[in-house]
Chain A
Amino acid sequence: MRALKTAILSAALALGIAGAAQAAEGVHIPKQDWPHSGIFGTIDKASAQRGFQIYKEVCSACHSMRLVPIRTLAGIGYNEEELKAIAASYEVQAGPNDQGEMFMRPGLASDRFPSPFPNDQAARVANNGALPPDLSLMAKARVGGEDYVYAFLTGFEEAPADVHLMPGMNYNKVFPGHQVGMPNILQPDGVTFADGTKATVEQQAHDVATFLTFAAEPHLDARKQMGVKVVLFLIVLAGLMYAVKRKLWSTLH
């Protein structure tokens, strides 16, 4: 067993290197307490629905979410009728028809979220040269994940006196380089939640981060639930294997 311990210890040390690779970059992002973190954590559906509302009313004016089909929202508690209604609120380009022309039709649940701009160049022109990044994977594509999303959305402040902001740029304390094209978009009561939750900036940032976590990893709940079963099964199997091993080897001594 000592050898096994050594092996596990070496593996742990090797993994420490992986952690170091990430620690090497960026500013410190404070950890938030998420209902979906931990082994048994699941996505807070009410929060994710509020986050979706903010995405729809605020973020999606500039940001695309091109990899996410609208039907994915079933995972945060919308039923089929609601999904159809959400999809129909978007206009989607389809075609060509019999005349060879493209046309617009109401969205279907199987469509992906339409992007606000036809291409990156159009997005830059409309945004002072800055390209609003796609949000499909935002919660996995930054060091810190959803903690970063929260810290970024609540991180806008007045630039310190010694910082000279370039024209059209805004100061954010966690953004790399601190100068960001995106303005401080979340305002207190900027949205009105259907469930009566008070829309503070922190609440909105929390909800958006929860929604983006879900959008980046729609199978998060299923993954963890399967993981609990798999690990429990393997622990029982290991126990049985060890018992058989002990019994078998006992005849050798």
Chain B
Amino acid sequence: MAQAQASKFKNPVVNWIDSRLPIFTMLDHEYNHYPMPRNVNYLWAFGAIAGIMLVIMIATGLFLAMQYSSHTSLAFDSVERIMRDVNYGWLMRYVHANGASMFFIAVYIHMFRGLYYGSYKAPREILWILGVIIFLVMMGTAFMGYVLPWGQMSFWGATVITNLFSAFPIVGDPIVTLLWGGFSVDNPTLNRFFALHFLLPFVLLGLVILHTAALHVCGSNNPLGIDAKGPQDTVPFNPYVTIKDGFAVVIFLIIYAIFVFFMPNYMGHPDNYIPANPLVTPAHIVPEWYFLPFYAMLRAIPDKLGGVLAMFGSIALLAFLPWLDRSKVRSCKFRPVYRQFFWILAIDALVLGYAGAMPAEGAWLIIARIGTFYYFFHFLVLLPVLGKLERPRPLPTSIAESVLKGGGGIAAGAHAKPMEKA
């Protein structure tokens, strides 16, 4: 005879459900008691911030989709109707459009945090690779979303980016035809981009759940990069990290709100307020700012296929990072040489971004070429070599010892009601 699982919850309804489908036990385990290293800094909040951004994007996107028309003859006007006539439509659209940029800011900081503290190293390889896949899907989603208002940059951006696939021999042209649904960027393209733009965020949601599941297997990394060895090294996620992440989320929302309400078009391009016109090419076709470093790499290589491979390769490379970095030490804190190169890489990414915004000629083209070369040099040469040559500083024996300088109590468990002790 089958028996229901025992559940510890006192509420009879929760208990009844939980003994049949233990979601409450799972949530309690993963989000109340989940042990978080006690020394994590505010950079660890950007995972939570990125998660909140995904939810905001799905929520605002849903309401925009209710008012949007994905036909080339209606798309531009329907967006303007949202801006002018739909109640708070301007708010939904500006929150969504600026949200894309803020989502990328959060994710880029999250990624560089992972790079700095070696969060990709064993046993977190799959966690990291899932992150790279999330980044790729996010880029695709953002690109297709930018096409939907059917302005000049929408149209010409779509034309340039989809044409990239034609660089591949044999399969290239069929892929492009498939993406377009015809022989140029036109109504079928807009329609399928809308369908995919609606679908992919939910794929992202699934990937984020996997990303979190993988995280909860081996636990969060921390600024020291050493493993937590017991309860003296950790705090329960709730309430300690919920309140800390919550504070960081609110600070992030303040910056976000300043963009939405006071400079909503700062991160956009004015040309996208001109309806798409296949007969008029804009003077400079520029992608959204978050693609600029990759755009710079694309244009830096004089050969079309080479440029496309460099661009995709620069992201694919990240998936191999756990094996390219030969050093056993995770955190940059104890890697005096690598730490310098980390900052050079960060500056390199910004320089590439700037070069991507400039016309690909003269000095900027040379700078983009040097930047592209350095990017690959960092991952393919510096990282493996440094792991062998560098002499890391000695690691502390435990998190508690390093953070508390001897002494300090064990964090109260969630059940101990820590507030009463204060």
Contact = CB atoms under 8 A, between A and B. Distances in A.
A251 B240 CA distance: 10
A24 B284 contact: yes
A123 to B, nearest CB: 14
Nearest to A18: B289
A248 B240 contact: yes
B357 A3 contact: no
Nearest to A252: B411
> Looking at chain A, what size class is its interface with the partner chain?
35 or more
A231 interface: yes
Contacts of A15: 105, 266-267, 289
Contact of A69 (B41, B42, B85): B85
Interface stretch (B26-34, B160-168, B241-249): B241-249
Interface stretch (B184-192, B254-262, B302-310, B314-322): B254-262
B254 A235 contact: yes
Nearest to A143: B270
A6 interface: yes
Nearest to A20: B357
A22 B265 CA distance: 11
Interface in A176-231: 176, 216, 218-219, 223-224, 226-228, 230-231
B264 A223 contact: yes
B344 interface: no
Given A231-B254, A253-B408, A140 B77 contact: no
Interface in A1-21: 1-4, 6-8, 10-11, 13-21
A67 B84 contact: yes
B350 A17 contact: yes
Contacts of A18: 101, 266-267, 289
Contacts of B292: 17, 21
Nearest to A138: B273
A223 B83 CA distance: 11
A1 B250 CA distance: 14
Nearest to A215: B84
A10 B90 contact: no
A78 B329 CA distance: 69
Contacts of A235: 254
A26 B273 CA distance: 17
Contacts of B83: 219
B385 interface: no
Contacts of B270: 22, 140-143, 145
A234 interface: yes
B48 interface: no
Contact of A226 (B42, B91, B250, B273): B91
A164 interface: no
Contacts of B358: 20, 24
Contact of A252 (B105, B240, B248): B240
Interface string A233-249: 01101100110110111
Interface of A: 1-4, 6-8, 10-11, 13-22, 24-25, 39, 67-69, 72, 133, 136-137, 140-143, 145, 176, 216, 218-219, 223-224, 226-228, 230-231, 234-235, 237-238, 241-242, 244-245, 247-253
Given A4-B251, A17-B292, A253-B404, 10 more contacts: A7-B42, A17-B350, A20-B357, A21-B269, A226-B91, A231-B258, A235-B254, A238-B247, A238-B251, A245-B246
Top 6 closest pairs, chain A to chain B, by CB: A227-B261, A141-B273, A3-B41, A21-B357, A241-B247, A18-B289
